[in-house]
């Protein structure tokens, strides 16, 4: 037993030696003008494109983008492990209190989806959904059949409700829109990620689900993905569905979001955050994103901020730290 105690000491010694060595090395590792970015998967593709374009204009800057989820991005940023965090949901008060400084850089929107082969599709689309009806399906669980949706007790086909299993901005927005609730209040079978829920809806004629803009529209045809129909929402509360409440292609959906006819939520802002207001190379990069960088937003399928918002965000960055 004695020898074992001694070996413990020995190991602790080695551990300390190795860790000091490593810590020593890492201190000299970061190169000048490296901007590190981490966070939400939703913003990763756009950010890599921004990074590449910005590095072409400013060859002295190197931008390392990693993805790992919004919470990871926020805690990395707040811990000082990275310079910029990508966030695809609203920030919580706790996060703002710790000094998170959010700047909106693009928008996204969530749309309800139905299977194109739903046997009652025409009637459903004509009647349309509203928040009360969706709350009955997604929150209280009072509405379980398509008959209840249509007001026809004779129809007893069950609604197959799908929701996101992973914490996601889209699900938060959907719950907030329906009843001012949180993702954990949503009922339904939890499926992983946007493509997962889309696929589940495509496979089941009686399904209902929701997806981010980019996932419901086919990037080639600009129409809803084969097998899926975007549910009509009674957005103006008229009790009936008008032509501009049916989204048959991407342009009309983007237009509705941009004009504010499609409410927020389920439309939402995507943020970059820094710890306190940014300065130096990070600030330059963020200003570039809000100016020259905006051309990449719509070409990559995201929704651009409207001019007032852009102006607001630019002036937000101009405040000296």
Partner 1 sequence: MNVAAGWSKRVKSRAQTRKQRNRAAQRLFAGSAALIFLVFFAIVTMLVQRSLPLWQSVSPQQFITGRVWKPDQGLFGLLPFILGTFWTTGLGIAFALPLSLLSAVYLAEYARPLTRAVIKPVLDILAGIPSVIYGMWGVLVVVPAVQNIFAPSFSRAFPHAGLFQSGNPTGFSIISAGIVLALMIAPILIALMVEILLAVPAGLREASMAVGASRWETIKYVVLPKAASGLIAALILGTSRALGETMAVLMVVGNVATLPRSLFDPAYPIPALIANNYGEMMSIPLYDSAIMGAALFLLVIVLFFNILSSLVLRRMLK
Partner 2 sequence: MNPKRGTRRRLAQFEEAFWLTLMRLALLSVVIVLGWILATLLLKGLPAINWELISQPPQGGYYLGGKGGILNALLGSIYLAGGGTLLGLIFSLPVVFYLATYLHHRSRQAALIRLMLDVLWGIPSIVYGVFGFLIMLSLGLRASLLAGIITLALLELPILIRGMDEFIRTTPEELVQSSLAVGATPLETTLKVVSRQTLPGLITAVLLAFGRGIGDAASVLFTAGYTDHIPTSLFEPAASLPLAVFFQLGTPFPAVQQRAYASALVLTIIILFISLLGRWLVSHFNKFLLR
72 belongs to the binding site for partner 1 (CB under 8 A): yes
Judged by CB under 8 A, the residue of 185, 218, 249, 284 near partner 1 is 185
Residues in the chain: 321
Which of the ranges 5-13, 19-27, 209-217, 220-228 carries the binding residues for partner 1, by CB under 8 A? 5-13
Alpha-carbon distance of 265 to 109, in angstroms, equals 8
Characterize 202-214 residue by residue with b for buried, 16 or more Cβ atoms within 10 angstroms of its Cβ, and e for exposed: bebbbbbbbbbbb
* Binding letters toward partner 1, positions 230-269, x by CB under 8 A: ----------------------------------------
Question: Which residue in the set 20, 34, 126, 167 belongs to the binding site for partner 1 (CB under 8 A)?
Answer: 167
Q: Give the C-alpha separation, 83 to 270, whole Å.
A: 17
Q: What is the DSSP string of 234-285?
A: -TT-SSS--GGG---SHHHHHHHHHHT-S-TTTEEEEEEEEESS--HHHHHH
Q: Which does 263 bind (CB under 5 to 8 A by kind): partner 2, partner 1, none?
A: none
* Choice from 165, 255, 277, 300 touching partner 1 (CB under 8 A): 165
Q: Which is nearer to partner 1, 160 or 316 (CB)?
A: 160
Report the nearest approach of partner 1 to the CB of residue 110 (Å): 16
3-state percent breakdown (helix, strand, coil) of the chain, nearest 5? 45, 20, 35
Task: Please report how close the Cβ of residue 171 comes to partner 1 at its closest, in angstroms.
Answer: 10
State the binding partner of 45 from partner 1, partner 2, none, CB within 5 to 8 A by kind.
partner 2
């Amino acid at each position: 037993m004695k020898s074992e105690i001694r070996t413990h000491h020995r190991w602790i010694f080695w551990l300390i030696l190795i860790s000091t060595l490593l810590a020593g090395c890492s201190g000299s590792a970061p190169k000048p003008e490296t901007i590190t970015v981490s966070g939400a998967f939703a913003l990763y593709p756009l950010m890599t494109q921004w990074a590449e374009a910005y590095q072409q204009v400013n060859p002295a800057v190197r931008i390392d983008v990693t993805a790992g989820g919004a919470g990871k991005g926020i805690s990395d940023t707040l811990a000082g492990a990275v310079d910029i965090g990508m966030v695809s949901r609203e920030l919580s008060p706790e996060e703002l209190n710790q000094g998170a400084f959010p700047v909106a850089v693009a928008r996204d929107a969530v749309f309800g989806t139905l299977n194109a082969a739903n046997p009652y599709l025409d009637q459903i689309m004509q009647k349309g959904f509203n928040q009360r009806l969706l709350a009955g399906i997604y929150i209280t669980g009072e509405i379980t059949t398509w008959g209840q949706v249509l007001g026809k007790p004779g129809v007893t086909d069950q609604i197959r409700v799908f929701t996101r299993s992973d914490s996601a901005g889209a699900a938060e927005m959907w719950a907030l829109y329906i009843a001012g609730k949180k993702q954990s209040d949503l009922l339904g079978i939890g499926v992983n990620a946007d493509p997962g829920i889309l696929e589940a809806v495509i496979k089941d004629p009686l399904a209902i689900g929701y997806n981010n803009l980019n996932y419901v529209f086919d990037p080639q045809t600009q129409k809803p993905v084969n097998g899926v129909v975007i549910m009509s929402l009674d957005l103006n509360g008229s009790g009936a569905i008008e032509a501009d409440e049916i989204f048959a292609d991407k342009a009309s959906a983007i237009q509705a979001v941009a004009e504010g006819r499609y409410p927020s939520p389920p439309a939402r802002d995507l943020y970059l955050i820094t710890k306190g207001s940014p300065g130096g190379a990070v600030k330059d990069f963020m200003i570039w994103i809000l100016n020259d960088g905006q051309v990449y937003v719509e070409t990559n399928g995201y929704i651009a901020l409207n001019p007032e918002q852009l102006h607001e965000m630019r002036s937000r960055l101009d405040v000296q730290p």
